Amino acid sequence: MTLIEKILAKHSKYESVKAGEIVDIEIDARAARDFGGANVVKNMQDNGLTVKDPEKTFFTFDTNPTGSDQKYAANQQICRFFARENGIKVYDINVGIGTHTFMDKGLAWPGSTAVTTDSHANILGAIGAFGQGMGDQDIAAAWAKGNVWFKVPASVKINILGKRPAHISAKDVVLNLLAKFGANSLLGYSVEIYGPEVDKFTLDERITIASMGTEMGAITLLFTPNQEVMEFCEFRTKRKLERIVADVDAEYEKVFDLDFSEFVTRVSLPGKPHDTVDIIAAKGTKIDSAFVGSCTNGRMQDLRAVAAILRNRKVAPGVVLKIVPTTDEIWQEAMDEGLIRIFKDAGALVSNAGCAGCAAGQVGQNGVGEVTISTGNRNFPGKQGKGKVYLATPSVVAASAVAGYITTPDEIPDEPMLFEHISNQSRVKAEEKTPVFTPTAIQGRVWVIEEDNIDTDMIFHNRYLAITELNEMGQYTFDNLPGHESFAKHAKKGDIVIVGKNFGSGSSRQQAVDCFKSLGVQAVLAKSFGAIYERNAINAAFPIVTYSDLSKLDIKSGDNISVNFETGEIISLYNNEKVFAQPFSEVQLEIYKNGGLF
């Protein structure tokens, strides 16, 4: 049997298995991340499932370990509650990437099986283990039964022969494999990698290569454990382990022999990890930012390579270098070795351990037009932001951050490339705006919300702050105000909102004003407004009116009223009663008639 067949057979009821067979296999480690973990919990609860082996079941919070995103933070807490109720171990936001935690905490070992909601779980092939990313239904089933069904994949053998070139890193190895096999030549296969130089690969190097099996479409990339790997796993599991080795007569569907001496330093061009070129083709490309980290290149060997480049150097002016260690243990080791000091002295941003930009995590995203060189495993459009992402080795990323453009460690210039100054003459002239009709008297249907202290998070929650287009804002109005979450669905153009005291207290966000404009709401009437909100509304030419007492009008939601901004007169169109609120000040009226501050 091949390596994958041996692992799966050992965890099934059969003595041997072959490619194409579907078998139930026992899972040694079953985890869910903060990314998808709440859905696993929901599947468990909705289907009345219980956790079969809590001691084999885990949560790993790695995609957003700062909890900086409201949805991630909420999902993490859902998982924590479930873990407390079921005696499940949580590797919380202070630990690091879950697949690395499997190895570092002894949860996976050579010949073991593990599943998680991480598509890069096949990284465990680095230690000769079977790891598989699965959807939340699969994970819930694994938690409940301890087993999952799996189709035994056919195996491919890659022999990397010849002497390893001195300048070729593990990331170069996998980028060269991507150049050879692309994104789908190995689709659905279990791939085993062999060779005299392969036997010498460190654990960190094996991790880098195995992690990008996903980008080649492979089920897993498996290495036969060497002595270093066995000693590492025995130390982490605190027990003697059996080394897993493929049989000499194992059957492979395909065998490839590659010449190591032909491997070159490569980069992946933006958009496709498998679209790799000799770095010569990308040299000189100006960059805005650089990133070191992800499950592919955030181990100690990677950080030491970066430190060797950054020592006594500075990141190029205007370039941002972000460094994210894979686990907190590695972070601590890097600090003990003085690497963190080197990074900081060079001008890098060092974040807590986690996935970082790969899963829209705590750091590493880029913006429109931004060019980034990254050690990550993916550079799909939108995966790490809206800019362009090149993939490269840690040394190349560090050298490029110092140079200000893509380059190699042996060609770092004495002076970095600087950004060109853009003169005022090159700016596009703003289009002339059509004059805005701003009536000083309005009529409309009323929404009466009898609440004081409605803050800006209730009006327009901070999870939507990245939205900059006015026409997208309206749908989120009041969706964080209890009892009024459906306001935006039922509001109509021309409506008027009446509230109590201190409306718009809290943050300075302009969206809390603009969301009403987006919906076509004509005005907000309140007893008082938050100071910043009042300025924002006036400057945006959004009518706000301060009243003292409206009881004479006996207004209810759905009634119609008229409001005169110049006189302050408010009339109920139901009973024709009138009261006077504060009229617009001279400044407010001038800005309003101008259509806004600008």
Same domain, yes or no, for 291 and 220?
no
Same domain, yes or no, for 216 and 254?
yes
Same domain, yes or no, for 239 and 271?
no
Domain CATH number, residue 169 = 3.30.499.10
- Among 234, 261, 288, the domain-final residue is 261
pLDDT in tens, 475-489: 999 999 999 999 999
DSSP conformation letters of 364-392 = --B-TT-EEEE-SS---TTTSBSSEEEE-
Rounded Cα distance between 232 and 580, Å, is 79
Q: Domain of residue 487: give its range.
A: 441-593
Q: Which residue has the tokens 């790969």?
A: 358
Same domain, yes or no, for 100 and 8?
yes
Same domain, yes or no, for 255 and 274?
no
pLDDT in tens, 487-503: 999 999 999 999 999 99
pLDDT in tens, 257-293: 999 999 999 999 998 999 999 999 999 999 999 999 9
Residue 476 in any domain: the answer is yes
The pTM (predicted TM-score) of the whole model is 0.82
Per-residue pLDDT band at 359 (split at 50, 70, 90): low
Amino acid at 224: T
Same domain, yes or no, for 275 and 256?
no
- For the chain, what is the mean pLDDT? 93
Same domain, yes or no, for 503 and 546?
yes
SS3 246: coil
Pseudo-torsion of CA 224, 226, 230, 233, nearest 10°? -70
Same domain, yes or no, for 298 and 224?
no
Rounded Cα distance between 309 and 342, Å, is 10
pLDDT in tens, 306-350: 999 999 999 999 999 999 999 999 999 999 999 999 999 999 999
Domain count, the chain: 3
Q: What is the pLDDT of residue 483?
A: 95
Nearest to 42 by CA among 135, 117, 140: 140
Q: What is the pLDDT of residue 390?
A: 96
Lowest mean pLDDT among 124-133, 499-508, 512-521: 499-508
Residue 424 in any domain: the answer is no
pLDDT value at 437 more than 90: no
Per-residue pLDDT band at 436 (split at 50, 70, 90): low
pLDDT in tens, 127-160: 999 999 998 999 999 999 999 999 999 999 999 9
Same domain, yes or no, for 298 and 371?
yes
Same domain, yes or no, for 279 and 221?
no
Same domain, yes or no, for 479 and 385?
no
pLDDT value at 427 more than 60: no
Structure tokens at 69: 């995103």
Q: What is the pLDDT of residue 426?
A: 47
Same domain, yes or no, for 341 and 402?
yes
Residue 418 in any domain: the answer is no
- Among 394, 411, 428, the domain-final residue is 411
Residue 455 in any domain: the answer is yes
- Among 229, 261, 293, the domain-final residue is 261
Domain CATH number, residue 586 = 3.20.19.10
pLDDT in tens, 101-124: 999 999 999 999 999 988 899 999
